[in-house]
Amino acid sequence: MSRRAQRSLVYLLAFLLVCGVAGIAAYCFLPASSTPRYTVVAIPRNAGALQIGVRLRRHGIIRSARAFSLMARLLGESRNLKAGDYRLSPHMSLAQIVSIIARGESVSIWVTIPEGYTINQVAERLEELGLVSKRRFILLAQTGGKSFHIPGLKLPSNLEGYLFPDTYKFSRRANERQIIETMLANFAWKVAKPLKREFAESTLPMPQVITLASLVEREAKKPEERPLIAGVLLNRLRLGMPLQCDASVQYALGTHKARLSIEDTKVDSPYNTYQHKGLPPGPICNPGLACIKAVLNPTPTRYLYYVAKPDGSHAFSTTFEEHVRAKKRIAASSSQS
């Protein structure tokens, strides 16, 4: 074979090699499919780029784990890849997938738990979003409190009052225990820890503060009245008077009624504060931070009674006679409107 033919053969082989390498690179780096089929892939904590690549490869999202690792390095994101659940598709480019995981754009659900929700209401809200089984959530929250270990908290068996109302971001893969644990940790972080001094100085132990705060949460419709209502209830406690909170009776009945009947106030329940003096055996809802602070810092007052007005505010009285007059006055104005 002449030198010229040998050189031509070398060039041809080199060309084929370059084409082969380019083809392999294109195969590895281009999207694995043109079909926009989405899969949720869980990326564990502390996983490196190659480990993540292997997981993505197993789910059919990419063609090569090494190509993914190389792309992460080329983009300067190999140390920024975050754990989470990601909704990914094989029609995405490697650069897109790296970017999504580096930015932490995981598949999560934002949930707002309003102040004053009960365990039952929290369970209903979470089940509606497909996060939990309502039955399992209620069972764990009402009976399994002592199985949770949150630093700085001594928890009762029934966690009513401690599932802190807030806006949460939950993974779709979270289970009942993980969600409850998150809410308890939030209570410790936003209530128990910052208010540690106030709890220590209170005449009531923390469980009773939370119980009283739950009554204030349900009784007070106007935010500005919370400390005053807390003051009234504390006065009644000190004097040994029954609290007579309608909200506690509604909790005992298991339903909300705009107006309680005389028979309702006779319901046989330890939560019925018309029939039993002192605080109920536990919170009647999960109070917000404002109501907890209202109990820890109540408005000093001589008032012992209050009655609701049509606009949700209350008329406050010092004596029973004043209270009766206030009730008649409000009833008369309501009948005229």
Q: Does residue 12 fall inside a structural domain?
A: no
Q: Does residue 4 fall inside a structural domain?
A: no
Chain Cα centroid distance, residue 47: 27
Of the residues 71, 106, 141, which one is the last residue of a structural domain? Answer: 106
Of the residues 161, 192, 223, which one is the last residue of a structural domain? Answer: 192
- Give the domain range for residue 44: 31-106
Q: What is the CATH number of the domain that holds 176?
A: 3.30.1490
For the record, the structure tokens of 59 come out as: 């789910």
Same domain, residue pair 99 and 113: no
Distances (CA, A) of 59 to 44, 65, 91, 97, 101: 15, 11, 13, 13, 15
Q: Does residue 314 fall inside a structural domain?
A: no
Can you tell me which residue has the tokens 């009762």? Answer: 156
* pLDDT reported for residue 206: 97
The pairing of strands 108-112 and 84-88 is unpaired
Contacts of 210 (CB under 8 A, 6+ apart): 161, 162, 283, 287, 292
Asked if residues 125 and 134 have their Cβ atoms less than 8 Å apart, the reply is no
Same domain, residue pair 43 and 99: yes
Q: Does residue 220 fall inside a structural domain?
A: yes
Same domain, residue pair 129 and 182: yes
Q: What is the CATH number of the domain that holds 66?
A: 3.30.1490.480
CA distance 99 to 60: 18
In terms of Cα–Cα distance, which of 312, 333, 100, 99 is closest to 224? 312
Chain Cα centroid distance, residue 81: 25
* pLDDT reported for residue 2: 61
Same domain, residue pair 188 and 219: no
Helix (H, G, I), strand (E, B) or coil at 310: coil
Chain Cα centroid distance, residue 132: 13
Sequential pLDDT tens for the chain (337 residues): 566 555 554 444 444 444 444 444 444 556 656 667 888 888 887 899 999 999 999 999 998 999 999 999 999 999 999 887 888 999 899 999 999 999 888 777 889 999 999 999 999 999 998 889 999 999 999 999 999 999 889 999 999 999 999 999 898 778 999 999 999 999 999 999 999 999 999 999 999 999 999 999 999 999 999 999 999 999 999 999 999 999 999 999 988 777 888 898 899 999 999 999 999 999 999 999 999 999 999 999 999 999 999 989 999 999 999 999 999 998 887 766 5
CA angle 277, 115, 108 (to 5 degrees): 140
Same domain, residue pair 149 and 102: no
Chain Cα centroid distance, residue 247: 24
Q: Does residue 222 fall inside a structural domain?
A: yes
Q: Does residue 77 fall inside a structural domain?
A: yes
Same domain, residue pair 125 and 171: yes
Of the residues 301, 316, 332, which one is the last residue of a structural domain? Answer: 301
Same domain, residue pair 288 and 208: yes
First to last CA, the chain: 113
Asked if residues 30 and 92 have their Cβ atoms less than 8 Å apart, the reply is no
Same domain, residue pair 208 and 283: yes
Containing 84, the helix (H) or strand (E) segment is: strand 84-88
Same domain, residue pair 73 and 61: yes
Q: Does residue 283 fall inside a structural domain?
A: yes
Same domain, residue pair 160 and 100: no
Same domain, residue pair 186 and 226: no
**Domain total in the chain:** 3
CA distance 128 to 120: 12
Chain Cα centroid distance, residue 2: 79
Q: Does residue 332 fall inside a structural domain?
A: no
* pLDDT reported for residue 18: 44
For the record, the structure tokens of 212 come out as: 């009283």
Same domain, residue pair 167 and 230: no
Instruction: Could you list the beta-strand ranges (E) of 122-218.
Output: 167-171
Distances (CA, A) of 145 to 13, 75, 136, 160, 276: 72, 46, 13, 9, 26
